[in-house]
Structure 1
Amino acid sequence: MKILTNEGRRYGNIEIVYSRGVAEVKDIQARTIQPDGSAIPFRGQVFDKPIARVRKLRLLAKTFTLPDVQVGSILEYRYRLEWKGDSTPAMRWTLDHQLYTHRARFSLRPYSVTSSALNWRSKGLVGKQPVWQGEVQVLEIGDLPPFRKEELMPPEEEVRPSLEFYYQAPMMEYIVPVEGGPKEMLDDFWTRVAKFVNEKSDKFMDKDRALRETVAAVAPAGDPPDARLRKLYERAQKIRNLSYLPPKSNAEADKLVENKNVEEVLRRGYGNDSDIAALFVALARAAGFETSLVLVPERDRTFFAPEVHRIQSLNGELTMVKIGSEQRFFDPGSLYCPFGLISWEKTAVQGIRLVKGGGLWVHTPKPVGADTRIRRTLRLHTTDQGRLEGDLRVGFTGQEALRRRQEAQDQDDLGRRKDLENEIKRWLPDGSFAEVGKAGPWDQAEPPLEAEIHVRVSGMIASTVRRMIIPLSVLRAGNGAVFRSTFRAQPVYIPYFYREDDEVVLEIPPGYQVESLPGPGKIETAFGRCETSHELADREIRFRRQEAVEGILQTGSYRELRGFFEAMRVSDENRTVLQVVAGH
């Protein structure tokens, strides 16, 4: 990369992003080539910087700064990415960049020690494909515009031009697919995958005596079926989930041994998300329930294409249990996931239900909006300084609680409070103050996640000699701020249904009375609705707003979606007018 302006000198700060537990960055080498042709090698320190925590995936970056970067410098660096585990990794080339790409060349030398065939799939490459040059696959491209990242867009892997290589094992023998309906039967490849995984899982779960003893102690046969299943689910979730709660030191990691069966999971009290899902299936079967493992894709990172025979696409697991005549899905392997809820990235996807001899296609249910809610109640009074001040109570349920608990699980109490305060400040007008008092529980699945916050809001009151004008929609609604721009480059992707219930109560200050209140409001569209109301009672004004978005939305119809949130924003500008009582 050549630095052409003073502003471009910031590209001397290098970040190499990787996923802890999946790969390691090694052998970093870098240098700065000066305009006179001299080279200054990098000999400084490399740091690990946390980037993001998304459920069980922890992203970090190796960061370092190249020496003496100036206008005219050329920056060069290289590194080695080493995958962990025994599987042959997939290789994905993301072809665009945050800067305009004039020309780029990618090359890959396939593994020579595997019998698996190299395959590839591309996205956004019209008329371009890799070619063999000797024993190397090469792709040359140019004139790519910079990537524009936007909030609430589909996974980057779906919208950025890319090329992914993956390895597919050769077919050793033909296996007869499991009989099912036309939309249920797997092809040869997925039948082999399902048969292999099912046989391996059954062997892992084959410990009848330990399972029967646990079932008898946890969920007696006299309990109702739903109650028994809930108790077994809770028992499985008591296992320390190493996919989300990994060892905190090398010494601790050395003490952990890989589980060979569910009996060891129970005895040792730890396991990964797959171990916990298998334990729940085994316990449910031992209790007499008809139960299956289900392999599913996770749509927060990419979208599943069954015609692409890539085993790594099915990177999640659910369980399916028959209760009476009803088949229900459960997600015991997701940390803090309540009984009956499925973490959103596994909802509304096509997966494989494992059965004897292979598997069958199934579709997981769409998320239910009533299960996911943010409830906010704010009591306010005016101050002598012309501000609004009061206390906010917030409750998160469903996906909203699950997401926050998983993201906060490796933080201390101070870090959790800080993140929550920053989120609440984004709900309030600029310059507002928020201080979290109580918040939690953070380490339980079933109760709502609740918080109490003291707030001070500035700039909301407009005063004249005899009037006070106040909009009571102090709390910003939903994702409205995301859709303020008239132009959007990426499709909109709202991953799950949600609902927000707001109530703002204002104490009428002494010496004032209500002159006018806004009327009720209602906005309805195909993908969402919003209702508002203002009421006066006992010298308090009560503003209520209910907003619901009711669809997994991936659409290019940005104009209609923006119109919905713009209408809500305009509605929020309605003002309550207070006037001085005669004689004051």
Structure 2
Amino acid sequence: MEVRMTPHRALYLLFAALAVALLTLPARAQWTPPTPEELSMTSQPEVPGAPAVYLYREEVTDDDNHNYSIYARIKVLTERGKEYGTIELPYEAGGHAHIEVTEIVGRTIHPDGSIVPFTGKAFDKLIEKTKDNRFMAKVFSLPDIEVGSILEYRYRVRFEDNYFISPEWLIQSKLFTRKAHYQWRPTVHSLYTREKGQINSVQWFPLLPPGDAVKLQTYPPIGQQGPRSVITLDIASVPPIPDEEYLPPITFASYRVLFYYSEYNNNTEFWAKEGKNWSKEKDRFIGPGPAVKAAAQELAPASDPPIDRLRKLYASVMKLENTDFTREHTSSEEKADGNKEIRNTDDILTRKRGSGAQLTELFVALARAAGFKAYLSTVTSRDHRLFLQGFLSLSQLDSDLAIVQVDGKDLFFDPGERYMPFQHLAWTHTLVRGLRQTDKGADFVDSPGETFKFSHIQRLADVQLDAHGEASGSIRFIYSGDTALNWRQRALRGDQTSLNRQLSESCERLLGKGTEVKVVSVDKLTDYEEPLTVVFSVKGPIGSTAGHRLLISSDLFEGMQDPTFTAKDRKYGVYFHYPYFAQDVVRVHYPPSMTVESMPKPLNTQFQKMASYGMKVEQAPSYYTIRRDLAVGEVLFPKEQYGDLRTFYTGFEAQDREPVVLKAAPVSASNGGN
């Protein structure tokens, strides 16, 4: 089981006073005695078949002691629930906070009430390593777990004395929670940031079920100290995180409370001032400086049409190394190359490399140097979250875009996304909200979407059947837009061998087991303005036999896939990553010993004006051809549309599985043998 431990928002804060009186929380009993009902329970009515449930969860953050503690009690209900006895506690090693996971204790309680204490030691596991930090996890396993056991553990997380971490209460988890208690005691001392001075208040952004609310209690000051506040939440019967296919980013839908220290009094004040500060800071880095100005004049002469000039500037940035997909160079490597600290876009241009954010800033600088009105935008990538305007933190804005005015119109660009075509955005950056620079500071912005024609995949099969139903031939996949971007960026993270393996496996999953697939060629892998073409050779069975008949799914690529939507109802709407257009052409040549007995009927169907499907069949003396088109034009389908959407998908997926029936010619008596 994963236990979230390190909040991603932290402020480096210093005490205003020289001396600090540390106050401790009242001690509570280390363990909770199990009740007879807890020992004997075998299920939870709200979640039938659940592998386990939280009987109780507790998180207490104590600012003045610079730590927080976690306490959990889990009831194992099935064999699969025993997996929750292995606990991983993630934390970040390095950085200013010097986070330490300590005081790990645990025990297993059997259904008969006998107790087996945890006497082992947690080991450190490396999850990810970056230039500055290591992301680790403390891992331990509770002993002697069986179905019906209660798993109980607690631990404490400590950090530097001059460091404060505002908590993030993640109320929902994979398991149903019977009861939970959360508490935060903010420090009583005046706090300052190095950048903005004194912090005025503690604020929070809640996403909770109706009827549940965060409570704030204020106690009188003690001595020289100011009033003490205690923030709590007690909640019961918390459902697990939704587990449906095609969900929006789960952090958008799950219950949680996000806290932060703030020097602002309200939402409007925060975004106005922080947006303006962000814009000024970015302008200082973007410039442009003399090196960028000289490069812009050389790359994009004023005699060229505006869009062509931008295209040349964009291409020049795309040629540079994007360290998001390679690696950041260490300070010693930079020093050996004669490079100093990066201070502006001139330094990025000189190094010929930078992060995705830095390359986006460089493109804005080049556009400005070429005479365009160009602005930076920072948005929230929707692969894992959505922008929350009520959450007063810039930390949720994690991706940069460029906005350039041409003929009075704002055009959006994504140069920090390696291999992104000109004047297009990666799907994670479409239809999202964030901040953008303006002539007067900053304002909110909504990024545009892409049409279904941008992400286009064509799958073309041309195979020859032998008399035994074995097929051999070639398959060509042609990817455009986000479908191409996916494979191009995968190639950056491995070598040609690993790319070919992944491509072959993706084709094998479509064709089914027993089919031998080999990559013959990969064209236009780095030419991001052109479609990516992959050619496979294939060999193996493509149908099933029934007597003297061979049954082949109409669409070789979709006929063996599981249905997209099986549940009759949904709690949430359907969320696709991006609109797309898929076209399949399947041509099967059959031997003279076979004839076509039946073919699927053509079908054209549509779901409102949001999606359409069409299949048609062509037959010739020695082969047949299936042509299939599927266009999905929307990203989000509301819950109320699910029934009709499911009917649409069920209908065309049944058509994909409709068989072409080939019949073997009977063996004549003269050829029957002796």
What interval of TM-score do these two structures reach, taking the shorter chain for normalisation? 0.7 to 0.9
> Aligned match of 1:302 in 385, 389, 403?
385
Q: Is contact 1:25-1:79 (8 Å) kept?
A: no
Superposition pairs for residues 126-165 of structure 1, below 5 Å? Answer: 126-132=210-216, 134-165=228-259
2:101 corresponding residue in structure 1: 27
Q: How does 1:369-408 map to 2 (within 5 A)?
A: 369-383=452-466, 385-408=468-491
1:563 to partner: Cα distance? 1.0
Q: Which residue of 1 aligns with 2:568?
A: 486
Question: Among 404, 408, 413, which residue is 2:496 paired with?
Answer: 413
Contact 2:107 2:143 in 1 (8 A): no
Q: Is the 8 A contact 1:478 1:500 kept in 2?
A: no
Alpha-carbon distance in 2 for matches of 1:322, 1:9: 58
Q: What is the count of residue pairs matched by the alignment?
A: 562
**Contact 1:428 1:457 (C-alpha < 8 Å) held by counterparts:** no
Give, in angstroms, the shift of residue 533 of structure 1: 1.0
Aligned pair in 2 of structure 1 residues 459, 334: CA closer, same or farther (>3 Å)?
closer
Query: What letter is aligned with 2:240?
Result: P
Deviation at 1:461, TM superposition (A): 2.9
1:342 aligns with 2:412: no
Contact preservation (8 Å) 2:175, 2:240: yes
Partner SS state of residue 41, structure 1: coil
Q: Distance in 2 between matches of 1:378 and 1:474?
A: 8
The secondary structure found in structure 2 opposite 1:277 is: helix
Q: Distance in 1 between matches of 2:301 and 2:349?
A: 18
TM-score normalized by the length of structure 1: 0.85
Deviates more, 1:374-383 or 1:403-412: 403-412
- How far apart are residue 59 of structure 1 and its match? 12
Percent identity (aligned): 25
Q: Which of 276, 279, 282 matches 2:359?
A: 276
State the Cα distance separating 1:509 from its structure 2 match: 1.7
Residue of structure 1 aligned with 2:143, choices 57, 68, 72? 68
Per-residue CA distance 1:305-352 (angstroms, 9 max, x = gap) = 435433233332221212234321111122221111111122223343
- Secondary structure (helix, strand or coil) at the match of 1:213 reads helix
Q: Distance in 1 between matches of 2:371 and 2:402?
A: 15
- Kept in 1, the 8 Å contact 2:105–2:155? The answer is no
Pair 1:569 & 2:628 matched: no
Larger radius of gyration: 2
Q: Is residue 104 of structure 1 aligned with residue 188 of structure 2?
A: no
- Deviation per CA, 1:465-515, whole angstroms, max 9, x where unpaired? 3x4332231111799733123243432111321111111110122322334
Q: Is the 8 A contact 1:373 1:400 kept in 2?
A: yes
Alpha carbons of structure 1 residues 441 and 93: separation in structure 2 relative to 1, 3 Å: farther
2-structure distance, mates of 1:414, 1:512: 39
Secondary structure at 2:281's aligned position in 1? helix
2:453 alignment partner, SS class: helix
SS in 1 for 2:174: coil
The 5 Å alignment of 1:134-533 reads 134-170=228-264, 187-247=268-328, 258-383=341-466, 385-429=468-512, 432-439=515-522, 442-443=525-526, 445-456=528-539, 458=541, 460-465=543-548, 467-476=549-558, 481-526=563-608, 527-533=610-616
Partner of 1:419, secondary structure, is: helix
Q: CA deviation at 1:560?
A: 1.3
Contact 1:511 1:580 in 2 (8 A): yes
2:4 corresponds to which residue? none
Q: Deviations over 1:32-64 (max 9, x none)?
A: 42445453333253323579xxxxxx9977373
SS at match of 1:365: coil
Kept after mapping to 2: 8 A contact 1:15/1:61? no
Q: 1:272 to 1:406 in 2, by over 3 A?
A: same
Paired with 1:288 and 1:20, the residues of 2 have a C-alpha distance of: 45
Contact conserved, 1:468 with 1:579, CA < 8 A, in 2? Answer: yes
Supply the AA of the counterpart residue of 1:103: K
Matches of 1:197 and 1:534 in 2, distance apart?
A: 58
- For 2:125, give the aligned amino acid: F
Distance of 1:569 and 1:422 partners within structure 2: 22
Maintained 8 Å contact 1:409/1:443: no
Cα distance, 1:233 vs structure 2: 0.9
Q: Distance in 2 between matches of 1:151 and 1:62?
A: 29
Distance in 1 between the 2:540 and 2:135 partners? 36
- The alignment partner of 2:537 has SS state of strand
Partners of 2:604 and 2:534 in 1: how far apart? Answer: 29
Q: Equivalents in 2 of 1:521, 1:245: separation in Å?
A: 47
Give the distance between the partners of 2:602 and 2:250, measured in 1 at CA: 40
Task: Say whether the 8 Å CA contact 2:264–2:270 is kept in structure 1.
Answer: no
Within the alignment, does 1:560 sit opposite 2:644 as a pair? yes
Change in 2 beyond 3 A, CA 1:427/1:582: closer
How large is the RMSD of aligned CA atoms in angstroms?
3.6
Q: 5+ residue gaps in structure 2?
A: 1-72, 193-197, 218-227, 669-674
Cα offset for 1:550? 0.3
The answer to whether the Cα contact below 8 Å between 1:28 and 1:77 also exists between their aligned partners in 2 is no
